[in-house]
Amino acid sequence: MQDSVPRFHAEAATAGGTLVKRPLSWRSSVCIISATGTSGRPPYTPEEKNMNALLPVFIRRVALPAVALTMLGASGGLVFAQQESAASTPAAQAELDRRKKMGGYRPDRMKNPNLTSVPPKLTITPPEEIPLKNIQVPPGFQVELWAHGMPGARMMARAENGTVFVGTRVIGRVYAVMDKGGQRTHKIIAEKLVQPNGVLVHKGTLYIAAINKVLRYDNIEANLENIPTPVDMTDAFKLPPDVHHNWKFLAFGPDNKIYIPVGAPCNLCEINPEVHGNIRRYNLDGSGMEIVARGVRNSVGFDFHPKTGELWFTDNGRDWAGEEGFEEELNRVPKNAIGANFGFPYCHADGQPDPDLQKANPCAGVQLPVVTLGAHAAALGMRFYTGKMFPSEYQDAILVARHGSWNKTERNGYDIMMVKATPDGKNAKVTPFMTGFMDKAKNTFWGRPTDVMLMPDGSVLVSDENMGAIYRVSYKR
């Protein structure tokens, strides 16, 4: 499953059906429409040229529906309207060509061959429009709206003094959420970046990873009023420039290394595993790159086991293989298997050969997952629970955010799952923890859980990209 979003996005329609006209950013706004550039703007990057090639998709999928909604005075956001309409409309030729180039495009295997991705809502959602009451958690747990008003909020990292930094993709921003006496405020500390999904804080230093860009902000919490010019570490990390599956997740390991994924630049294709489809670790200065996992299609979440220190990560399976395949994975990298092969592109899920890209013994030597997490569910952020607030059965369990499907006729995911397993990855059991973001009867959703993060008091924060919000989950005995 691709953690999907179209290459172009307009601001979504408001509840009254009018468009917010503020551009997303200089580089990600409609300034990109001119193929020859816009007077006064910087030259196009390779990533933007790739995006420009999909302009017809943007017009058909986003701009025209938005104009139509405005003219008709329709109620409800554009994003919600597209949940039903986009899935039944045949794709434009440019989009069909793009899908074919991405490999493995077999719409004939789907109940609905016209499935398409749904863009996140990129306007501020007022608290009263967030249906918090729909969220369901086990008895004794409570959910509250912790922060809101941050369109596209995705991956989270907490600094030593309590500031929570939040990455995004489409809107190109990084937010800082400050908590003062229980009151949260936030500000944009970086913008006009290409999908700055990855955020990490270590000893007061903030790292931001965008597509082929790594920035370092030293002593960030002391400089929130006047954000300094970051140190550009892009050349040191030498990340490939591909956009597809190249949005980052960052984590600091017990070995004092920064861990970064580099996804496959396709849906299904043969790759050079030394360049794409891997998870890497670096020294803090970007030196000493080492690949710790190969054959990884698209990981956007990992953590380290609290007892063994081993890396565990989510990985998203390929699209267009069928309604029920291939499932997302929760994987473990044993200490004695650094650099192991996790299967892509020939072997998927719990040892299933790919039907379209074949080779002899495709699953031989492949490190199979601890457990699979459902077809097309987009398993993203994950954390081991090591706090003291939740009941004892949650200790060392994994909370996984399933962002939700697009390449499945009957939607799947849109929740937080709990995974219990032994430290060596045996006897895994998956149970729902936080649900209610999707209406199964109507096959629609309102929220897209994206990341989870443990707080010092033992509560857990959950980001929601679609609502631009963060929820706090607590437990009261």
| DSSP collapsed to 3 states, the chain | CCCCCCCCCCCCECCCCCECCCCCCCCCCHHHHCCCCCCCCCCCCHHHHHHHCCHHHHHHHHHHHHHHHHHHCCCCCHHHHHHHHHHHCCCCHHHHHHHHHCCCCCHHHCCCCCCCCCCCCCCCCCHHHCCHHHCECCCCEEEEEEECCCCCCCCEEECCCCCEEEECCCCCCEEEEEEECCEEEEEEEECCCCCCCEEEEECCEEEEEECCEEEEECCHHHHCCCCCCCEECHHHHCCCCCCCCCCCCCEECCCCCEEEEECCCCCCCCCCCCCCCEEEEECCCCCCCEEEEECCCCCCCEEECCCCCCEEEEECCCCCCCCCCCEEEEEEECHHHCCEECCCCCEECCCEECCCCCCCCCCCCCCCCCEEEEECCCEEEEEECCCCCCCHHHCCCEEEEECCCCCCCCCCCCEEEEEECCCCCCCCEEEEEEECCEECCCCEECCCEEEEEECCCCCEEEEECCCCEEEEEEECC
Spatial neighbors of 442 by CB under 8 A, at least 6 apart, are: none
Task: Give 214-257 pLDDT, tens digit per residue.
Answer: 999 999 999 999 999 999 999 999 999 999 999 999 999 999 99
Structure tokens at 461: 């924060």
Burial 84-108 (b: 16+ CB within 10 A, else e): eebbeeebeebbeebbeebbbbeee
371-375 sheet: strands from edge to edge? 302-304, 311-315, 327-333, 371-375
Measure the CA–CA gap between 158 and 411, rounded to whole angstroms.
32
Instruction: State the pLDDT at residue 119.
Output: 86
What confidence tier does 86 reach under pLDDT thresholds 50, 70, 90? very low
Could you tell me if 465 and 448 are in contact, meaning their C-beta atoms sit under 8 angstroms apart?
Answer: yes
Structure tokens at 459: 């509560």
Task: Give 384-411 pLDDT, tens digit per residue.
Answer: 999 999 999 999 999 999 999 999 999 9
Measure the CA–CA gap between 433 and 435, rounded to whole angstroms.
7
Could you tell me if 264 and 255 are in contact, meaning their C-beta atoms sit under 8 angstroms apart?
Answer: no
Instruction: State the pLDDT at residue 63.
Output: 43
Average pLDDT over residues 80-104: 76
CA proximity to 215, closest of 263, 255, 248, 256? 248
Measure the CA–CA gap between 149 and 341, rounded to whole angstroms.
41
Instruction: State the pLDDT at residue 82.
Output: 40
Measure the CA–CA gap between 77 and 379, rounded to whole angstroms.
25
What confidence tier does 477 reach under pLDDT thresholds 50, 70, 90? confident
Share of the chain above pLDDT 70, in %: 82
Measure the CA–CA gap between 375 and 324, rounded to whole angstroms.
5
Task: Give 118-144 pLDDT, tens digit per residue.
Answer: 888 999 999 999 999 999 999 999 999
Structure tokens at 176: 């800082």
CATH architecture of 128-475: 6 Propeller (2.120)
pLDDT, averaged across the chain: 86
Residue where the block lists tokens 């998870």: 279
Measure the CA–CA gap between 399 and 459, rounded to whole angstroms.
12
- Asked whether the predicted pLDDT for residue 30 surpasses 70, the reply is no
Could you tell me if 191 and 204 are in contact, meaning their C-beta atoms sit under 8 angstroms apart?
Answer: no
Average pLDDT over residues 189-195: 97
What confidence tier does 19 reach under pLDDT thresholds 50, 70, 90? very low
Measure the CA–CA gap between 349 and 351, rounded to whole angstroms.
6
Average pLDDT over residues 314-336: 97
Taking the model in full, what pTM does it have?
0.84
Instruction: State the pLDDT at residue 21.
Output: 34
What confidence tier does 27 reach under pLDDT thresholds 50, 70, 90? very low
Instruction: State the pLDDT at residue 88.
Output: 63
CA proximity to 420, closest of 370, 351, 350? 370
Structure tokens at 11: 């601001």
- Give the residue, 16 or 328, on which the prediction is more confident: 328
- Asked whether the predicted pLDDT for residue 34 surpasses 70, the reply is no
Burial 317-326 (b: 16+ CB within 10 A, else e): bbbbbbbebb
- Asked whether the predicted pLDDT for residue 343 surpasses 60, the reply is yes
Report phi then psi at 87, rounded to 5. -75, -15
Instruction: State the pLDDT at residue 118.
Output: 84
- Asked whether the predicted pLDDT for residue 56 surpasses 70, the reply is no
